Chain A
Amino acid sequence: MRSMLICCVLLLVGPAWLAANAQSPDAAGVPPPLPFTAPTQVVAKDTPSDGGHAITIEWAAVPGVDHYRIERQGEDGDFAEVTTAGRLETSAEDSGVENDIPYRYRVVAVGPAGEEGVSSETAPAMSGPQWFNLELLGVAIAIVAFVALVSWYIRRARRGDDLFVRRIAGLEAVDEAVGRATEMGRSVLYIPGTGYISDIGTIASLNLLSEIAKRTAEYGTPINVPNRDPVVFTVAREVVKGAYAAAGRPDAFNPESVYFVVENGLAYAAAVSGIMVREKPATNFLMGPFYAESLILAETGAMTGAIQIAGTDSTSQLPFFIVACDYTLIGEELYAASAYLSREPLMLGALKGQDMGKLFFMVLLTVGTLLALATGLDVRWILSTSGY
């Protein structure tokens, strides 16, 4: 019995000893590979928030590792490499799996000299598709909150609550500008932007047009509305007609005063410049989205000595309006102005909702920074989404 045991030990150890001795001359000077720590806490699970066909494998970092090899057990029971991960990574994804089939994994830590530490195999994991992307929960909450905010204020505005909007510099001048045109016996020129009906700037501009047309109707001052877009033109005509009716002067509305010019931007600018030079309107309103040709309009208007009140949400054109016009509504001020003058619940409510959004932004930025600087706590994870 004992001799059998000795035989066994010799049989097992002998070749190993021989082998080790046989290797040693070749590996002279190089230490033999050390047994390498195997990765622990290896877990395989369905990749969350995806369309299926992927399993995520996670493990605890192994010190001194060169890279990791992730192996999946095949049908024959053997493990084969599916992917690798760098030394700083502690997770990997196998995106070549079938849904609803259990797979086992193991992670092999590979050292700088090729030494390996093999983890124990994981519990089986199955992949499957999900119906909701949890990584975007924050985005979903933000959308719902914003919708709630805007609809709440629209409801309040419709109920007739007094929603305060601060005064806007350029708007104070509207009455004065229309009055001046009346005194001088000249017309008012209103350019509703060079954009399309789907632009928010155009919608805001048409709201403003309605208010300004009411004033020209009251004062009996002629108004001139050249259009670049045929669809905007048809709506603008309705708007001015409606404004004259609302001011109690439907008879004073001249359908010829709202007209279509030409679609090409430069040609439009040339034609309207011609109108400015010939008719010398006392006041020019340039409201709405504008493109490159805005410069020509603003310059010609400035040369004719008209009071110019401009407003646009096209940020690249704003600098030229600011230096060439008397008053400029900057970006959002254009939206605010149309809500301010029209008191239209839809616009007012939306404006209020946006304001609350901005307030929230300001609070988040301030509090987030203070917290981060004071406590070292990084609060930016709240704003993390999948891509960033």
Chain B
Amino acid sequence: MRDKLPLGLLILMGVLGLTSRFIPHPVGEGMNAYLRDTLLRIISAFALILGLGNLLLRHTHKLEHKEPGWPHSIALIAGFVVTAVIGLLGGVSGEGPLPTAIGSFKFDITTIYNRVLIPLGATMFSLLAFYMASAAYRSFRAKSWLAALLLISAFVVMLGQVPLGGQISPIIPQISQWIMEVPNTAAKRGIELGITLGVLATTLKILAGIERSWLGSSK
């Protein structure tokens, strides 16, 4: 029961999804439109709760047991609660009953998003530029002729991508463009075709009910 019911539903939905593209009849179209627009949309909205619940549970647990780094959990929970309350009561575009400004100081959810989320998220990823440089210096090595080939191709493309390359010689951007459009296209197409087959095989195994790792157990 615990495995069979979800598995049965998965197979049923899989068959409906797979056949939907082949059936132009309005009966099929209408049913699929309902499945997508109502059923899947609502279920996927609730899916957020799963991740959110996991997150909040873990951090409240951390707080209760004063695990290492517990003060940070306060920042997480407070950030969540404040934003959610302002968003739910103040409204996403200021349509709610909660006032979202004191004088010129606005604290509606869009402002919080623009002023807090953007700096944090964008900076977090910008760190990678620095790590890239340090890795370039300390660990990107032409250990084999293949790795050397990779680095040479990378150099040409890097030069071709920046205006400086065109200043050195107008032929550099052209070679770089050719690498992207010809050898790169060939390699990516080959890899993609192979990986696509791998993904298709796995998808079909899942739909046939023989690949069950998604049920969350090791077997």
A235-B218, A322-B146, A346-B211 are contacts. A354–B24 as well, Cβ < 8 Å? no
A319, CB-defined interface residue at 8 Å? yes
B127, A51: Cβ atoms closer than 8 Å: no
In the complex the two chains form, what is the Cα distance from A319 to B147 in whole Å? 9
B150, CB-defined interface residue at 8 Å? yes
> Of A131, A238, A299, which contacts B23 at CB under 8 A?
A131
- Main secondary structure on chain A at its contact with chain B? helix
Q: Which residue of A lies closest to B153 (CB)?
A: A319
In the complex the two chains form, what is the Cα distance from A313 to B125 in whole Å? 22
In the complex the two chains form, what is the Cα distance from A112 to B195 in whole Å? 54
Taking the closest CB of chain B, its distance from the CB of A301, in whole angstroms, is 8
B198, CB-defined interface residue at 8 Å? yes
In the complex the two chains form, what is the Cα distance from A237 to B50 in whole Å? 22
A235-B216, A323-B147 are contacts. A346–B141 as well, Cβ < 8 Å? no
Name 25 A/B residue pairs within 8 A (Cβ), A-sorted.
Answer: A50-B24, A51-B26, A131-B24, A146-B197, A146-B200, A147-B204, A197-B213, A203-B213, A206-B218, A231-B216, A238-B218, A239-B218, A292-B125, A299-B135, A303-B139, A313-B195, A315-B188, A323-B142, A324-B139, A324-B140, A350-B198, A350-B202, A353-B197, A358-B193, A358-B194
B77, CB-defined interface residue at 8 Å? no
- Please name all residues of chain B whose beta carbon is closer than 8 Å to the beta carbon of A139 when the two chains form the complex: 21
- Please name all residues of chain B whose beta carbon is closer than 8 Å to the beta carbon of A350 when the two chains form the complex: 198, 201-202, 205
Q: 1/0 per position for B52-78, CB-CB distance to A under 8 A?
A: 001100100000000000000000000
- Please name all residues of chain B whose beta carbon is closer than 8 Å to the beta carbon of A100 when the two chains form the complex: none
- Please name all residues of chain A whose beta carbon is closer than 8 Å to the beta carbon of B28 when the two chains form the complex: 131
A177, CB-defined interface residue at 8 Å? no
B193, A295: Cβ atoms closer than 8 Å: no
Taking the closest CB of chain A, its distance from the CB of B34, in whole angstroms, is 15
Taking the closest CB of chain B, its distance from the CB of A153, in whole angstroms, is 10
> Of A200, A324, A335, which contacts B135 at CB under 8 A?
A324
6 further interface pairs, Cβ-Cβ under 8 Å (given A197-B214, A326-B143)? A133-B23, A235-B213, A295-B131, A299-B135, A302-B139, A320-B140
- Please name all residues of chain A whose beta carbon is closer than 8 Å to the beta carbon of B95 when the two chains form the complex: none
User: For chain B residues 18-35, which have a beta carbon within 8 Å of chain A?
Assistant: 18, 21-29
Taking the closest CB of chain A, its distance from the CB of B209, in whole angstroms, is 12
Taking the closest CB of chain A, its distance from the CB of B157, in whole angstroms, is 11
A219, CB-defined interface residue at 8 Å? no
Nearest 3 Cβ contacts at the A-B interface: A302-B139, A238-B218, A299-B135
In the complex the two chains form, what is the Cα distance from A315 to B214 in whole Å? 23
Q: 1/0 per position for A34-52, CB-CB distance to B under 8 A?
A: 0000000000000001111
A370, CB-defined interface residue at 8 Å? no
A50-B24, A242-B218 are contacts. A331–B204 as well, Cβ < 8 Å? no
Q: Which residue of A lies closest to B204 (CB)?
A: A147
A200-B198, A320-B135 are contacts. A133–B24 as well, Cβ < 8 Å? yes
Q: How large is the interface on B (under 10, 10 to 19, 20 to 34, 35 or more residues)?
A: 35 or more
Q: 1/0 per position for A277-303, CB-CB distance to B under 8 A?
A: 000000000000000110110110011
B26, A295: Cβ atoms closer than 8 Å: no
A52, B141: Cβ atoms closer than 8 Å: no
- Please name all residues of chain A whose beta carbon is closer than 8 Å to the beta carbon of B197 when the two chains form the complex: 146, 353-354, 357-358
Taking the closest CB of chain A, its distance from the CB of B202, in whole angstroms, is 5
- Please name all residues of chain B whose beta carbon is closer than 8 Å to the beta carbon of A183 when the two chains form the complex: none
B24, B27, B138, B141: which has the most chain A beta carbons within 10 Å?
Answer: B24
- Please name all residues of chain B whose beta carbon is closer than 8 Å to the beta carbon of A303 when the two chains form the complex: 138-139
User: For chain B residues 182-219, which have a beta carbon within 8 Å of chain A?
Assistant: 188, 191, 193-195, 197-202, 204-205, 208, 210-211, 213-214, 216-218
B42, CB-defined interface residue at 8 Å? no
A150, CB-defined interface residue at 8 Å? yes
In the complex the two chains form, what is the Cα distance from A19 to B198 in whole Å? 77
Taking the closest CB of chain A, its distance from the CB of B212, in whole angstroms, is 10
A299, B134: Cβ atoms closer than 8 Å: yes
B131, A299: Cβ atoms closer than 8 Å: yes
Q: Which residue of A lies closest to B211 (CB)?
A: A346
- Please name all residues of chain B whose beta carbon is closer than 8 Å to the beta carbon of A143 when the two chains form the complex: 18
A170, CB-defined interface residue at 8 Å? no
Q: Which residue of B lies closest to A207 (CB)?
A: B213
In the complex the two chains form, what is the Cα distance from A20 to B134 in whole Å? 90
> Of A200, A292, A320, which contacts B199 at CB under 8 A?
A200
A129, CB-defined interface residue at 8 Å? yes
> Of B26, B128, B208, which contacts A129 at CB under 8 A?
B26
A130, B25: Cβ atoms closer than 8 Å: yes
Taking the closest CB of chain A, its distance from the CB of B53, in whole angstroms, is 12
Taking the closest CB of chain A, its distance from the CB of B62, in whole angstroms, is 11
B194, A331: Cβ atoms closer than 8 Å: yes
A295, B132: Cβ atoms closer than 8 Å: yes
Q: 1/0 per position for B132-163, CB-CB distance to A under 8 A?
A: 10110011111100110011001000000000
A298, B139: Cβ atoms closer than 8 Å: yes
- Please name all residues of chain B whose beta carbon is closer than 8 Å to the beta carbon of A200 when the two chains form the complex: 198-199, 202
In the complex the two chains form, what is the Cα distance from A154 to B197 in whole Å? 15
B135, A295: Cβ atoms closer than 8 Å: yes
B218, A361: Cβ atoms closer than 8 Å: no
> Of B141, B151, B214, B218, which contacts A198 at CB under 8 A?
B214
A235-B218, A266-B124, A315-B191 are contacts. A203–B202 as well, Cβ < 8 Å? yes
In the complex the two chains form, what is the Cα distance from A320 to B25 in whole Å? 49
Q: Which residue of B lies closest to A357 (CB)?
A: B197
Q: 1/0 per position for A122-134, CB-CB distance to B under 8 A?
A: 0000000111110
In the complex the two chains form, what is the Cα distance from A147 to B210 in whole Å? 13
